[in-house]
Amino acid sequence: MNQRTVVYFLMTIPAWMLFFIFHTYPSLQGIYYSFTDWKGYGDWNFVGLKNYIHVFQDDRALNAYFFTFKFAIISTILVNVISLMIALGLNSKIQFKSTLRAVYFMPNILSILIVGYIFNFIFAHFIPDLAETWGITAFSKNILGDSDFAWIGIVIVAVWQAVAFNTILYLAGLVTIPGDLYEAGEIDGAGPWQKFWSITFPMIAPFFTINMVLAMKNFLMVFDHIMALTGGGPGQATESISLLIYRGGFEGGEFAYQSANAVIYFIVILVISVVQIRLLQRREVEL
Amino acid sequence: MQKNRTNWLVTILLLLGSSVILFPLYLTVTIAFKTPQELADSLLALPQSWRFENFTDAIYLTGFFNALTNSAVITVSVVVFTLLTNSMVAYAIARNMHRKFFKFLFYYFVSAMFIPFPIIMLPIVKQTSAWGMDNILGLILLYIVYGLAFNVFLYVGYIKSIPKELEEAAIVDGASTWSVFWKVIFPLLTPMNATVGILTALWAWNDFMLPLVIISDTDMATLPLVQYIFQGQFSTNYNLAFASYLMALAPMILVYIVAQKWIISGVTKGAIKS
Q: Give the pLDDT confidence of B47-77 residue by residue, as tens digits.
A: 777 888 888 888 888 889 999 999 999 999 9
The pLDDT > 70 percentage for chain B reads: 98
- Tell me what pLDDT residue B274 has: 59
Residues paired with residue B273 on neighbouring β-strands, in sequence order:
none
Interface contact A22-B3, CB threshold 8 A? no
pLDDT exceeds cutoff 80 at A50: yes
Contact partners, residue A223, CB within 8 Å, separation at least 6: A240, A242, A243, A246, B208, B209
Instruction: Check CB contact under 8 Å for A221 and B117.
Output: yes
Quote the CA–CA distance of B30 and B176 in Å, as a whole number.
Answer: 59
b/e sequence A253-267, b meaning 16+ C-beta within 10 Å: ebbbbbbbbbbbbbe
Percent of chain A with pLDDT over 90: 47
Asked whether the beta carbons of B182 and B129 are under 8 A apart, the reply is: no
Residue to substitute from A9, A36, A93, A274, interface B, most B β-carbons within 10 A? A93
- The band of B3, judged by pLDDT with boundaries at 50, 70 and 90, is low
- Provide the mean pLDDT of chain B: 89
Chain B residues closer than 8 Å to A61 by CB: none
Contact A13, B85 (CB under 8 A): no
CA distance A98 to A92: 12
Outline where B95-135 has alpha helix (H): 100-111, 117-130
Gap between the Cα atoms of A113 and B28, Å rounded: 14
Q: Taking the mean position of all CA atoms in its chain, how far away is CA B80? A: 13
Nearest Cα residue in chain B from A207:
B272
- Residue A42 DSSP SS3: coil
B-chain residues within 8 Å CB-CB of A40?
122, 126
Q: How far apart are CA B64 and CA B230, in angstroms?
A: 11
Residues of B in contact with A241 (CB under 8 A): 118
**What's the rounded Cα separation, in Å, for the pair A239 and B16?**
34
pLDDT for residue B1: 39
Considering only the beta carbons, identify the residue of B14, B126, B242 that sits closest to A89.
Answer: B14
Least confident among A31-45, A235-249, B100-114, B119-133: A31-45
Contact assignment for A100 to B14 by CB distance below 8 Å: yes
pLDDT at B134 over 80: yes
Provide CATH 1.10.3720.10 ranges for chain B.
72-233
Cβ separation of B8 and A19 shorter than 8 Å? Answer: no
| 3-class secondary-structure state, position A282 | helix
- Count contacts between A and B (CB, < 8 Å): 247
Per-residue pLDDT tens digits for A204-246? 888 898 889 889 989 999 999 999 999 887 888 899 999 999 9
pLDDT at A25 over 90: yes
pTM to 2 decimals?
0.91
CB neighbours of residue B65 within 10 Å: 10
Residue B245 main-chain phi, psi, to 5 deg? -60, -45
- Kindly report the nearest CA distance between residue B126 and chain A, in angstroms: 8
Position B223 scores a pLDDT of 93
Residue A281: its pLDDT value, please?
83
Residue-level pLDDT at B221 = 92
CA A5 to chain centre: 41
Chain B residues within an 8 Å CB radius of A30: 119-120, 122-123
> CATH says B72-233 is which class?
mainly alpha
Tell me: the pLDDT tens digits for A247-273?
Answer: 988 888 888 999 999 999 999 988 998
Q: How far is A201 from chain B (nearest CA, A)?
A: 17
What letter does residue A177 receive in the DSSP assignment?
Answer: S
- The C-alpha of A176 sits at a distance from chain B's nearest C-alpha, in angstroms, of 12
Nearest to B120 among A30, A105, A207 (CB): A30
Nearest to B268 by CA among A130, A205, A167: A167
Query: DSSP string covering B163-187, please?
Result: -THHHHHHHHTT--HHHIIIIIIHH
Mean pLDDT to the nearest integer, A81-94: 92
Which secondary structure element, helix H or strand E, spans residue A242, and what is its range?
A: helix A241-250
- Report phi then psi at A240, rounded to 5: -85, 170
Q: How far apart are alpha carbons A1 and A8 in whole angstroms?
A: 11
- State the pLDDT at residue A1: 61
CB contact under 8 A, A8 and B10: no
On chain A, the residues whose CB falls within 8 A of the CB of B272 are: 169, 172, 207, 210
Exposure letters B181-207 (e unless 16+ CB within 10 A, then b)? beebbbeebeebbbbbbbbbbbbbbbb
Indicate whether A287 pLDDT > 70.
no
Left, alpha or beta for B176 (phi > 0: left; psi -120 to 50: alpha)?
A: beta
Please give the residue of chain A at the shortest CA–CA distance from B243: A118
- pLDDT range class, residue A93, cuts 50, 70, 90: confident
pLDDT value, residue A6: 87
Sign of the dihedral defined by the CA atoms of residues A10, A11, A13, A14, in that order? positive
- The alpha carbon of residue B117 is apart from the nearest alpha carbon of chain A, in Å, by 9
Query: Looking at residue A285, what is its pLDDT?
Result: 60
Helix ranges restricted to H, A92-230: 97-105, 112-121, 127-134, 150-174, 179-187, 192-195, 201-203, 205-220, 224-229
Residue A105 has its nearest CB partner, among B4, B112, B264, at B264
**Per-residue pLDDT tens digits for B139-198:** 999 999 999 999 999 999 899 888 888 888 888 888 888 888 898 899 999 999 999 999
Using CA atoms, how far apart are residues B7 and A181, in angstroms rounded to an integer? 20
Whether the CB of B122 is below 8 Å from some CB of chain A: the reply is yes
Q: For residue A275, count other CB atoms closer than 10 A to its CB.
A: 11
Task: Report yes or no: B111 and B48 within 8 Å, Cβ to Cβ.
Answer: no
User: What number of residues does chain A have?
Assistant: 287
Region of poorest pLDDT, from A2-6, A28-32, B220-224: A2-6
Across residues A112-141, what is the average pLDDT? 87
* CB-based contact A109:B22 (threshold 8 Å): no
What number is the average pLDDT over the span B30-37?
85
pLDDT band at A125 (very low <50, low <70, confident <90, very high): confident
- Prior bond of A234 cis (ω within 30°): yes
Radius of gyration of chain A (CA): 24
What value does the mean pLDDT of chain A take?
Answer: 89
